């Protein structure tokens, strides 16, 4: 069953509410001797909900949008005073003169003697009717303002969604050149060391670029494809490393997993580990652990020795992690956690993504 649209929901609420209001006289009017409904009495009481409906929608459809929302409060009050007065007069005449004048004589209708005041007094009835109409006007204002607020919130949400989509596209356009720049730098360094390995690296890079070309425009891709991409990237990065660098990779994700994930998120974290965790002559390490939990969470846990690049190192533009943070905020909102901390000169990054809402 499809959910009701806002307009249909409001319409249903109004119809049900007024059906209840117009049926209320049936529970309070006097009955015929045989306990059947006295329809003349019903018509006598019908003026009350009819007046409330009239004042509600005159305000809801015209006075509130035209005067109240345009800050013409004086005119709004004047028109409602005139409207309230007119409806009170109409109700009084309907009950006291018009209705009894034009309904046929019936033993079921007991008319009070002329000039005799019955309880409650007429002044009390007029005050009651007036207060009820004023309360109805207030309810009309509240209902209209609430609808306006909800419509504004919906418009704002749609605008924020469009903004997020535009930001996401902009982030992807920034991530790709950043990633490509670092990878080409690696291959450039490898050419002078081993030409055959450099050629293999170019082939591996072409596979990765093909993946990026066909998947980077998608918000989410199968986790298995992303893992294959990560594996190729790590192998490409390991080619240029010295023997003093230990790289430990542990990936435990089901090849047939139905989980989907945003592309290129983990690459930036792994790239950061290689960038800042490698020393040309000192012992160093990089640990990469990616696993899938039983409750459909993907955990990317990386740690590396800390060798921050100096100002002369131009291997990257330094925008990777900032873009990952924005990327996560746009796509996952509150469905992720990311811890980054330094401990004993070891940098740790633990990213946990809840992927329950993104499956194939």
Domain containing residue 228: CATH number? 3.30.565.10
> Does residue 54 sit in the same domain as residue 202?
no
Confidence of residue 23 (pLDDT cuts 50, 70, 90): confident
pTM of the full structure: 0.55
210-224, 290-304, 346-360: the lowest-pLDDT one: 210-224
Task: Provide long-range contacts, Cβ within 8 A and 24+ apart, for 66-71.
Answer: 68/141, 69/148
CA 63 to CA 69: how far, in whole Å?
9
Q: What is the mean pLDDT of the chain?
A: 79
Q: Does some domain include residue 145?
A: no
Whole-number pLDDT of residue 336: 93
> Does residue 345 sit in the same domain as residue 233?
yes
Range of the domain at 315: 175-354
* Element (DSSP H or E) covering residue 325: helix 320-331
Q: Among 87, 118, 149, where does a domain finish?
A: 118
CA 15 to CA 335: how far, in whole Å?
40
Q: Among 77, 97, 118, where does a domain finish?
A: 118
Q: What is the pLDDT of residues 187-246, one digit of tens each?
A: 887 788 778 888 888 888 888 778 877 765 677 888 988 998 898 888 888 877 888 999
CA 303 to CA 293: how far, in whole Å?
19
Whole-number pLDDT of residue 102: 46
> Does residue 204 sit in the same domain as residue 321?
yes
Mean pLDDT within 344-356 = 92
Residue 5 has pLDDT above 60, yes or no: no
Number of domains in the chain: 2
Dig out the tokens for 137 from the structure.
């006007």
Confidence of residue 320 (pLDDT cuts 50, 70, 90): low
Q: Does some domain include residue 127?
A: no
Higher pLDDT residue, 90 or 357? 90
Q: Does some domain include residue 154?
A: no
Whole-number pLDDT of residue 63: 92
Q: What is the pLDDT of residues 276-294, one digit of tens each?
A: 898 888 999 999 999 999 8
Q: Does some domain include residue 212?
A: yes
CA 3 to CA 30: how far, in whole Å?
42
> Does residue 13 sit in the same domain as residue 98?
yes
> Does residue 207 sit in the same domain as residue 282?
yes
> Does residue 75 sit in the same domain as residue 187?
no
Q: How many CB atoms lie within 10 A of CB 266?
A: 24
Confidence of residue 317 (pLDDT cuts 50, 70, 90): very low
> Does residue 106 sit in the same domain as residue 235?
no
């Amino acid at each position: 069953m499809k959910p009701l649209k806002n307009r249909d929901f409001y319409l249903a609420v109004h119809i049900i509410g007024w059906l209840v209001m117009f049926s209320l006289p049936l529970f309070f009017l006097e009955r015929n001797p045989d306990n059947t409904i006295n329809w003349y009495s019903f018509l006598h009481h019908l003026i009350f909900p009819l007046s409330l409906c009239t004042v509600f929608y005159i305000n809801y459809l015209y006075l509130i949008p035209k005067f109240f929302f345009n800050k013409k409060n004086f005119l709004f009050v004047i028109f409602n005073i005139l409207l309230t007065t007119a409806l009170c007069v109409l109700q009084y005449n309907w009950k006291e003169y018009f209705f009894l004048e034009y309904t046929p004589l019936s033993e079921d209708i007991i008319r009070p003697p002329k000039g005799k005041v019955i309880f409650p007094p007429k002044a009390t009835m007029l005050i009651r009717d007036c207060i009820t109409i004023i309360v109805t006007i207030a309810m009309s204002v509240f209902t209209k303002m609430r609808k306006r607020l909800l419509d504004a919130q919906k418009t704002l949400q749609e605008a924020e969604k469009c903004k997020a989509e535009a930001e996401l596209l902009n982030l992807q356009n920034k991530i790709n050149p950043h990633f490509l720049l670092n990878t080409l730098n690696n291959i450039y360094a490898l050419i002078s060391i081993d030409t055959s390995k450099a050629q293999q690296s170019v082939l591996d890079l072409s596979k990765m670029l093909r993946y990026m070309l066909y998947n980077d425009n998608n918000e989410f891709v199968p986790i298995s494809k992303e893992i294959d991409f990560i594996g190729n990237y790590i192998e490409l990065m390991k080619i240029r490393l010295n023997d003093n660098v230990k790289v430990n990779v542990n990936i435990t994700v089901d090849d047939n997993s139905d989980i989907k994930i945003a592309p290129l998120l983990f690459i930036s974290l792994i790239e950061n580990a290689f960038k800042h965790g490698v020393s040309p002559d000192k012992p160093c390490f990089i640990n990469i652990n990616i696993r899938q939990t039983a409750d459909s969470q993907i955990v990317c846990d990386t740690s590396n020795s800390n060798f921050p690049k100096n100002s002369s190192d131009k291997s990257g533009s330094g925008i990777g992690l900032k873009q990952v943070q924005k990327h996560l905020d746009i796509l996952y909102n509150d469905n992720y956690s990311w811890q980054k901390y330094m401990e004993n000169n070891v940098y740790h990054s633990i990213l946990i993504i809840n992927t329950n809402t993104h499956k194939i």
